[in-house]
């Protein structure tokens, strides 16, 4: 049974469980995600529209010969960690904190985790705003859940993964990334209300169009960046607005309603709140457009989204702006925007399939000439959410 309040309730507490014993190696997968529109609305109680990718993190779990330790190995990072069970609550400020945070969520609920080897490999670019961290968290969560007889629902696993990133890793993210990784569905995007967690799978009827992801390959570190500052500024705006209008979150306001209280805000606090409200309305209209097959309007709203992320939320950068703005001018492109938290990472572009090859070649050369960096391009394939996999799928 899910918790009574699915938005704020945390999973049930279990006690007295015995350690996991594995007879054979088990395999799991959790995808990354691309957010088609709606960034920095999730923690403001708004709408988002992500889709799970067919890229993500694979995990093989098997018994480890030391019953009092866990071994964490990654093919994408030469470091490996042998951690005794009493050390599983200690942060190391490296990739292993993401799975360890999830392990802690299970041990705190009475499910001891020891005597296991976790072997990770992924095909997502790291730090590119495609949710590699949520992918690691969710693959660990679905694995531990399966090995314990599946006591938790997918919603509970999503909440545990988000809680691990917020409280253990120290990244004050919203729930979108973990939710998209857990609830993804092939060839569908997810219209998610982050205030209520009501969601709908919306089929992506592409009709000769493709979403192309362009990775700037600009390094970024969100935990130490302005991400948490943006969230703090939104909270400041909400507290001021509450003195004049009863709201639970910024995205409960329409733009017309926001305009009536905007005079009480100033500076960055005004700009951050205005983005949240405007972007929420962008998402609402974009989902409606997609449902009726109006891809031209959907692309226009992608462009509008990039503009408010650039001008009001100030989370783009020269590299992202270059890719998005050059893309918007390219033949066959309906829309282009940054995707994810920003400060680097990726853009997502809606483009005619017959223009993809020329787009990648032309934009790639122009970007390298301008910044001395090589952009990586991916034609987005939309896949299913986290779960177990057969060996043939590895």
Catalytic residues: 177
Whole-angstrom CA distances from 214 to 129, 318, 345 are: 11, 14, 8
CA distance 364 to 361: 5
Helix (H) or strand (E) segment spanning residue 189: strand 188-193
- Residues 6+ positions from 160 with CB-CB distance below 8 Å: 10, 11, 102, 105, 106, 141, 152
Nearest to 118 by CA among 75, 87, 148: 75
Identify whether the C-beta of residue 383 lies closer than 8 Å to the C-beta of residue 52: yes
Nearest to 103 by CA among 133, 132, 137, 135: 137
Please name the residue ranges forming H helices in the chain: 97-108, 132-147, 154-163, 176-183, 227-242, 255-261, 267-291, 295-311, 318-328, 356-371
Q: What is the DSSP letter of 314?
A: -
The 3-state DSSP class for residue 374 equals: coil
Nearest to 183 by CA among 168, 167, 161, 163: 161
Nearest to 124 by CA among 55, 178, 181: 55
Angle made by CA atoms 76, 143, 194, in degrees to the nearest 5: 90
- Residues 6+ positions from 319 with CB-CB distance below 8 Å: 216, 218, 344, 367, 371, 373
Instruction: Identify the burial level of 346 via C-beta atoms within 10 angstroms of its C-beta, where 0-12 means exposed, 13-18 middle and 19 or more buried.
Output: buried
């Amino acid at each position: 049974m899910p918790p009574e309040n699915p938005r704020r309730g945390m999973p049930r507490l279990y006690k007295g469980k015995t350690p996991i014993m594995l007879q054979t190696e088990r395999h799991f997968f959790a995808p990354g995600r691309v957010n088609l529109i709606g960034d920095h609305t999730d923690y403001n109680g708004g709408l988002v529209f992500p889709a799970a990718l067919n890229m993500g993190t694979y995990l093989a779990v098997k018994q480890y010969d030391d019953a009092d330790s866990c071994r964490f190995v990654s093919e994408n990072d030469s470091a490996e960690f042998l951690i005794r069970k009493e050390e599983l609550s200690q942060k190391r400020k490296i990739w292993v904190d993401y799975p360890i945070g999830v392990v802690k969520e299970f041990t705190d609920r009475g499910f001891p985790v020891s005597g296991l080897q976790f072997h990770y490999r992924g095909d997502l670019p790291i730090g590119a705003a495609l949710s590699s961290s949520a992918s690691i968290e969710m693959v660990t969560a679905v694995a531990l859940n399966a090995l314990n007889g599946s006591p938790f629902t997918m919603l509970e696993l999503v909440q545990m993964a988000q809680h691990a990133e917020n409280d253990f890793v120290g990244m004050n993210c919203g729930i979108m990334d973990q939710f998209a990784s857990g609830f993804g569905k092939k060839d569908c995007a997810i219209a998610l209300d982050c205030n209520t967690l009501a969601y709908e799978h919306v089929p992506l009827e592409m009709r000769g169009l493709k979403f192309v992801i362009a990775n700037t390959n600009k390094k970024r570190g969100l935990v130490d960046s302005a991400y948490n500052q943006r969230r703090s500024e939104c909270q400041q705006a909400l507290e001021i607005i509450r003195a004049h209008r009863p709201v639970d979150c910024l995205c409960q306001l329409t733009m017309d309603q926001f305009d009536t209280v905007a005079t009480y805000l100033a500076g960055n606090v005004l700009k951050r709140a205005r983005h949240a409200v405007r972007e929420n309305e962008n998402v609402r209209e974009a989902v409606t457009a997609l449902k009726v097959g109006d891809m031209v309007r959907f692309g226009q709203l992608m462009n509008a989204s990039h503009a408010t992320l650039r001008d009001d939320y100030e989370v783009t950068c020269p590299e992202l702006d270059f890719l998005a703005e050059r893309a918007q001018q390219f033949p066959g492109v309906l829309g282009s925007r940054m995707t994810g938290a920003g400060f680097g990472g990726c853009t997502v572009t809606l483009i005619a399939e017959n223009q993809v090859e020329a787009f990648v070649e032309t934009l790639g050369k122009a970007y390298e000439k301008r910044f001395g960096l090589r952009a990586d391009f991916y034609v987005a394939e939309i896949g299913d959410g986290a779960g177990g996999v057969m060996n043939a799928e590895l």
